[in-house]
Amino acid sequence: MSRIAATFERLRAEGRRAFVSYVMAGDPDAETSLEIVKGLPGAGVDIVELGVPFTDPMADGPTIQEAGQRALAGGQTLEGTLAMVRAFRAGDDTTPVVLMGYYNPIYNRGVDRFLADAREAGVDGLIVVDLPPEEDTELCLPALEAGIDFIRLATPTTDAKRLPRVLENSSGFVYYVSVTGITGAAAAEAGEVGPEVARIKASTELPVVVGFGIRSPEAAETIAGVADGCVVGSAIVAQIAEGKPVAEVLDYVATLAAGAHRA
């Protein structure tokens, strides 16, 4: 059983929802970033989503774009991100790690080499936002063959005709984007999200986790309550951007995780 599947199985047995946190690898610098990532499980994070910085992050809002720019300016690379996962795995062999990014760095490295290195480093899943289902042979299917989950995004505009194609080769969990637009753009509303999550769950046995627009423990609790979990990214990255000490960032993450786990 994969780490992701085992995590959701454990949470179901405990009657709890998942809390997924996103941070950008290398932000504000490699050393501080690794310290934050290592501290996330202790703050209540069930799945770590680790951003791979890229020069043209089309799905990301200003907060995460700027985090990627800081990371790139500090010399963060795909290789450095895999090294960060290896360092994390040295002390944690149970918390799933999902890499979120874009196809270009993977393509440049070579798909086969990347997947072998990612598997060896301890990566459990991939979210690659600029590869649609029509391009599954590029990375999705090879990833699945390598034992790495390929997590697909569904959005408010993923209609009944499109949804089966999106779900066809998805694994790990489905990431439901609660609002249209870029990350950090608007607040998620449980009354709108709930029916959409139910629609997706009627078509898949995979857990459905909701992200975008969650900034407070109360919002995490409300949104996680209508899904299998929630993701917080921009709000955490904003804390890092403000230069707050690692301990304060992790304290903030802990409040969000507690909210999600109350659901």
Set 27, 49, 136, 228: catalytic member: 49
Active site residue 49: yes
- List Cα–Cα distances, 59 to 65, 73, 184, 216, 247, in angstroms: 9, 20, 10, 22, 29
Q: How far apart are CA 263 and CA 31, in angstroms?
A: 34
CB 208 within 8 A of CB 151: no
Nearest to 23 by CA among 96, 75, 99: 99
Residue 234: Cβ-neighbour burial (10 angstroms; 0-12, 13-18, 19+):
buried
Alpha helices in the chain (DSSP H): 3-14, 30-39, 62-73, 78-89, 103-109, 111-121, 140-145, 163-167, 190-201, 217-224, 234-241, 246-262
Q: Does the CA dihedral 184-173-27-72 come out positive or negative?
A: negative
Set 46, 60, 136, 221: catalytic member: 60
Instruction: Supply the residues annotated as catalytic.
Output: 49, 60
